[in-house]
Structure 1
């Protein structure tokens, strides 16, 4: 256990068969983490551990992946939450960037931890993240798209609110296979509910709506936020479902595309998957009216793109979608 690197040396102790952490932590969440340096940086893989919190309520702990040494990592963890005056424990996926936390997803039901050890696992592949907690009584599962940290990093554990934590049977594994089994239709391959997922800036909603209508006239099914997200829906969850159910993800290129964070998160998850060799979904940049090459995000510039204003090219693209 000598290859573990703690965020602060006094917050964690590596014993022969166990990691322990007590007190300490920094920032609003009194957080501290420790990573396993032995396997080296991991892009796609899994980390698991049997974790015991010395206090089940009002504390938090979990696992991290793609972590660097400067407080940037993806985490799956438990945390306290007060709902209607009652304290409960919830499970979340979040991103720490230089110590600043961005929540990504939360399990809809409370988590009841066992008094002893609970088995935590965190799988990550091409921007997809799956967290699981097995308590002995039942299993909790949380999935999310999380393209925020695309680089390889280390895996390990995290503590929040200065929690006391005991961890054993820690395992870090690499993988080249997606952890979510594809939905396959025999014998023709994967089925998708939508041919395309239209990713766009809200400023371009009118033009993209016209494009959606034009695609529909040609028999191309589409996912579009204005059509699929209703009042009261959880936006992140609906977007995640749309991405999973779409064959092609279409970033609609304009000067507005990179102004908001949502669009990059949407196409970024699929682009990361492609970089890792998963071609089940494909990104195709679509140039809107007035868009220029300089408006295309750098990660998309090597992609063959299609112009909305070039009628011949756009028709060729529609035929391509039909054939796939």
Structure 2
């Protein structure tokens, strides 16, 4: 069992390094094109004050499909509050290359949420999305909000953030916490 844990840790570390490299390469390429006289992209017509230029979505939500029922309910609440939410089922179209569609959705989102559960911590896709969301938050100041829905140990970088703890709450407490998350995404 220890060997499996070491393998998952190594794979996650390599994935994080690869994601960081591609992020660095993209930022470097963008900087070089601007230095050569290219104009930065114009803000999209849907851009709101305080949002990065070109944002199509207010937030990208990363999660495991094992948690889909919880996530769908949560996302509906954000959307009812007027937020534009990107998640896999919203951004994928038949024939899309999955990695490119996810990458574009993250790029088109102002902020990121990751739903932490044992299932999400075991998902290779979620680990990749975590690395990208965390890197964007560190490098460009975009908000990254961890949501804890089941008992799980947060990775060290995520643990540095104030997280929204949805374990064992319902009713008014749930509504209040969803409102607080929505307000944080708007600020």
Shift of 1:179: 3.8
Q: Superposed, which structure 2 residues align to 1:1-324 within 5 Å?
A: 127-128=22-23, 130=25, 178-180=28-30, 183=41, 185=43, 188=49, 190-191=52-53, 192-275=55-138, 277-279=139-141, 281-288=142-149, 291-292=150-151, 294-308=152-166, 309=169, 310-311=173-174, 312-322=176-186, 324=187
Distance change >3 Å, CA 263–CA 306, structure 1 → 2? same
Once superposed, which parts of structure 1, at least 4 consecutive aligned residues long, lie more than 3 Å away? 124-127, 181-189
**How many residue pairs are counted as aligned between the two chains?**
153
Shift of 1:273: 3.7
TM-score (norm 2): 0.69
Deviations 1:123-162 (A, max 9, x none): x9665154xxxxxxxxxxxx6xxxxxxxxxxxxxxxxxxx
Q: Partners in 1 of 2:159 and 2:89 — Cα distance?
A: 27
Deviations 1:264-300 (A, max 9, x none): 111212312444x421x22110122xx13x3322321
Question: Tell me, which stretches of 5 or more residues in structure 1 are unaligned?
Answer: 1-96, 98-103, 105-123, 131-142, 144-176
Distance change >3 Å, CA 300–CA 187, structure 1 → 2? closer
* 2:86/2:105 contact within 8 Å kept: yes
* 2:147/2:164 contact within 8 Å kept: yes
TM-score (norm 1): 0.42
Q: Partners in 2 of 1:178 and 1:304 — Cα distance?
A: 30
Q: Partners in 2 of 1:283 and 1:183 — Cα distance?
A: 23
Q: Partners in 1 of 2:22 and 2:136 — Cα distance?
A: 7
Shift of 1:188: 4.8
Question: Tell me, which stretches of 5 or more residues in structure 2 are unaligned?
Answer: 1-13, 32-39
* 1:200/1:253 contact within 8 Å kept: yes
Deviations 1:204-249 (A, max 9, x none): 1121111111111000110010121123210000001001011111
Distance change >3 Å, CA 238–CA 218, structure 1 → 2? same
Q: Which has the larger radius of gyration?
A: 1
Structure with the bigger percentage of strand: 1
* 1:198/1:223 contact within 8 Å kept: yes
* 1:274/1:282 contact within 8 Å kept: yes
* 1:125/1:179 contact within 8 Å kept: no
